[in-house]
Amino acid sequence: MAEETQNAEVQEVEATQTKAKVDFTDAQQKNPEQFLNDFDWENYQEGIETVDDKKLEQFEKLVAENFVDTLDDEVVEGEVINLTDRDAIIDINAKSEGVISLNEFRYNPDLKVGDKVEVLIDVREDATGQLVLSHRKARTIKAWERINKAHEDGTIVNGFVKCRTKGGMIVDVFGIEAFLPGSQIDVKPIRDYDVYVNKTMEFKVVKINHEFKNVVVSHKALIEADIEEQKKEIIGQLEKGQVLEGTVKNVTSYGVFVDLGGVDGLVHITDLSWSRINHPNEVVELDEKINVVILDFDEDKTRIQLGLKQLSKHPWEALSEEIKVGDKVTGKVVVIADYGAFIEVSEGVEGLIHVSEMSWSTHLRSAQDFVKVGDEVEAQVLTLDREDRKMSLGIKQLTPDPWTDITSKYPVGSRHTGIVRNFTNFGVFVELEEGIDGLIYISDLSWTKKVKHPSEFCNIGDKLDVVVLELDVEGRKLSLGHKQIEENPWDKYEADYGVGTKHTAEIEEIVDKGATVKLTEDITAFVPQRHLEKEDGSTLKKGEEAEFMVIEYNKEFKRVVASHTSVYKEEEAKIVKKAAKKAAAAAQEAKPTLGDANEALQSLKDKMEGKK
């Protein structure tokens, strides 16, 4: 019908042009001068026949109204007028029909003659003069127009979920592939994306990147809009202490998020159970429906704190009144610290076993040396405070105290073998049995060795023979000795290395203010600087051998002092003494007697008196 109308209009224009030619001939014959003045010589030279301007305008108007301008890049609607094996012939009301490959209609296998389709002029004319159109490009242009409009207006669009991709899904919207992030699929976390593949869903266009031609859509935005009204209604009715039913929406290491019907609340891990738990999944599961109580919320009621354990009676209130101090209880180790272990004697009721109550030993160790998490242990109730909900327990009380008969087992002077358990700067702790430790002072380790630190003498775990030196039952202290196992060698050394004894030895080391000489394996003597002088006035050097005299011997402090100078000084003293004795003897022989003196005096007196 449109084609017939168009042909009729063309015929009318051609008839008008014929009539114009007749009028042109009549004007030429009637008034030649006027004709020559009005004649358009330029058009005549170009071979263009003169047409009346009004008729020409009418003709151009008819062309503009009935034919498509093939120079514009606009999308137009065409009609399928013929289908071949490879192409579709489309009439877009232009001077000629256009052709489109059927490949562009693969999404529409039911395409038939008479269908209206959107097309874009791809090539105005090919080599054969055929108008080439594109349906695919037209669809793309129109799709972007629709997507942009949907984004601007915030309208809802339908999309087909094609497949999964990293971080979300690919959705076909108006023939354009859009990205649906996993976080925008639903208000709750999605664990299985595959259930959405090959489904048509409603979306909202939330972002467009025109530079990279990227589109992001959201299904969650639609759900949030739907539940916003419900959320406001629920929040307005919230009160502390109110019990509500909710669905576990998410489980984290620190707590559980519960959906209360459009508004979320958090149950902290400490509010899930009266008992200690390592992770919330020990108590609840995803999608599980649970009752919770509202503990608190902020002014805007956007942060809601929920509780689960508060719906049940506190375990301390349910603890049997029959349990008292001194009773034996059995429980499971739930937490271990350096200072002790917490035992759950009943659900939600815990008692602390301090490390000092795990063993009678005074040498404290870590609680991990005695128990581990999960162990079932038996203990005795030491203290019980129901108001403060505290309980202390002990394990060692279940065995006899080893100090009860300590005086009979470890009397002073008795000998035993123990294990080195620990070092201090002043001694060694030796364990004789579980709960019985004794201290060996550093001075009681050896008679002969000078020990600066116990690690120089023994190692932890070594067995040592000891003698009980002191016993303090009330203070639970044992003083032990190791050197007392043997006789003090310094007692017998005194006879051979006492003061005045002489020994030949080598200068071992030059030390501050003197030198040392090794007299035996156990005895090293100190030689003061002034006692290193030799008879010729020189001083003894390291490695030089000489004779030494012991001038001091102290067995209590294991101290021996020797002198080389005293050796030759003693010889000189002997010589002087011997010479003195000889001189005294000679003088004695030359000395006059008393009788001789009297006789001499009498002779002198007689001379003076004139006697003969």
Residue numbers in the chain where pLDDT is lower than 70: 1-73, 95-96, 122-130, 135, 299-302, 318, 362-364, 571-612
388 CB burial (10 A radius; 0-12, 13-18, 19+): exposed
pLDDT at position 515, please?
A: 92
- Residues 6 or more apart whose CB falls under 8 angstroms from that of 85 comprise 102
Can you give the pLDDT at residue 256? 92
Return the SS3 of 572: helix
pLDDT attached to residue 237: 77
Distance separating alpha carbons of residues 280 and 290, to the nearest angstrom: 13
| Residue given tokens 């300590």 in the structure block | 406
CATH number of 406-485: 2.40.50.140
Collapsing DSSP states into helix, strand and coil, what is residue 588? helix
Q: Which are the contacts of 56, defined by CB distance < 8 A and separation ≥ 6?
A: none
Same fold, 2-137 and 154-223: yes
Q: Are 211 and 264 in contact (CB under 8 A)?
A: no
pLDDT recorded at residue 54: 60
Q: Given this model, what pLDDT does residue 48 score?
A: 55
Handedness of CA 15, 16, 19, 25 (dihedral sign): negative
Structure tokens at 330: 């059995």
What is the pLDDT at residue 95?
Answer: 64
Q: What's the CATH code, domain 2-137? A: 2.40.50.140
> In the chain, what are the domain boundaries?
2-137, 154-223, 237-311, 315-398, 406-485
CATH 1.10.3720.10 fits 315-398, yes or no: no
How many helices (DSSP H) and strands (DSSP E) are in the chain?
11, 30
What per-residue confidence (pLDDT) applies to 362? 63
Which fold would CATH assign to domain 154-223?
Answer: OB fold (Dihydrolipoamide Acetyltransferase, E2P) (2.40.50)
pLDDT at 99: 83
- Write down the pTM of the prediction: 0.39
Helix ranges (H only) for 198-272 are 220-236
Name the CATH architecture for the domain at 237-311. Answer: Beta Barrel (2.40)
Alpha carbon distance 344, 336 (integer Å): 12
